[in-house]
Amino acid sequence: MIYMAITNTVTKATVADAQLISRTLAFAFDDDPMMRWFFPEDSTREADLGRYFTTLFTRQYVHHGVCERTGAAAAFWVSPEGQAKAVPDAETIEELQNILGDRAPLFRDAVVAAAEHAPTEPHWYLAVIGADPAARGQGHGAALLRSGLAEADAAGLPVYLESSKPSNLPFYEHFGFAVREEVRLPGGGPVLWAMRREPRPPAGE
């Protein structure tokens, strides 16, 4: 069988893309330390991650964030104006608790701990970015990252993200991010690396 590359053209994601995006992100985050901490069961992780990302996307980020995708990757960004609205409502929290089961308290504590280290000045937040490992090396993640960074640069604003996967740090550093803090999540959780990128002048300036 001949493997055909999937396009890495960036397009705006809509609710109609929920199934594709949730499946893509479930594959992308299967080996992520924080997701493995939230979903420790190998036999159910893929399905649970699919439900988790479907909930975040359809109930939260597609309405209050900037969601983009390629044929094998997705990214959820939040502008400064959207950050107050992007906080999950009570119904979303209940749905996430049902998905997480007895890991829900760990998730809640992790969210609180991460929020304590977020910047206070206006910034763009990269909430989620992931590519299907089957399409690794085809530029999907890089295309999505460049798209969002261009928006932040046009606004003259820094970008903030957290990563719990140490092998991802060089990728982000290549695009100008720098580690500002290491945060050990409570309850014996993994380390989160809080990263920041200063704005750059748009191309041509």
Domain residue ranges in the chain: 11-197
Residue 179 corresponds to which tokens in the numbers above?
């580690």
* SS3 of residue 149 by DSSP: helix
Single-letter residue type at 170:
P
Residue 136 corresponds to which tokens in the numbers above?
């690794």
Confidence class for position 41, pLDDT limits 50, 70, 90: very high
Sheet holding 159-163, edge to edge: 11-12, 66-69, 73-78, 124-131, 159-163, 191-197, 178-184
Mean pLDDT over residues 138-148, rounded? 96
Residue 201 pLDDT: 85
**Segment 157-175, tens digit of pLDDT:** 999 999 999 999 999 999 9
* SS3 of residue 69 by DSSP: strand
4 has pLDDT over 80: no
3 has pLDDT over 80: no
199 has pLDDT over 50: yes
Residue 205 pLDDT: 57
Please state, rounded to an integer, the average pLDDT across all residues of the chain. 93
Residue 93 corresponds to which tokens in the numbers above?
């929290």
What number of H helices and E strands is found in the chain?
8, 7
76-91 in b/e burial notation, b at 16+ Cβ within 10 A?
A: bbbbeebbeebeeeee
The answer to whether 88 touches 115, Cβ cutoff 8 Å, is no
Percent of the chain past pLDDT 70, that is, above it, reads 96
**Segment 43-55, tens digit of pLDDT:** 999 999 999 999 9
Residue 2 pLDDT: 40
Which DSSP helix (H) or strand (E) runs through 35?
helix 33-38
- The residue that leads in pLDDT, 116 or 195, is 195
DSSP code of 117?
A: T
Residue 133 pLDDT: 94
CATH fold, domain 11-197, is Aminopeptidase (3.40.630)
**Segment 92-136, tens digit of pLDDT:** 999 999 999 999 999 999 999 998 999 999 999 999 999 999 998
**The model scores a pTM over 0.95:** no
How many angstroms separate the CA atoms of 130 and 144, rounded? Answer: 9
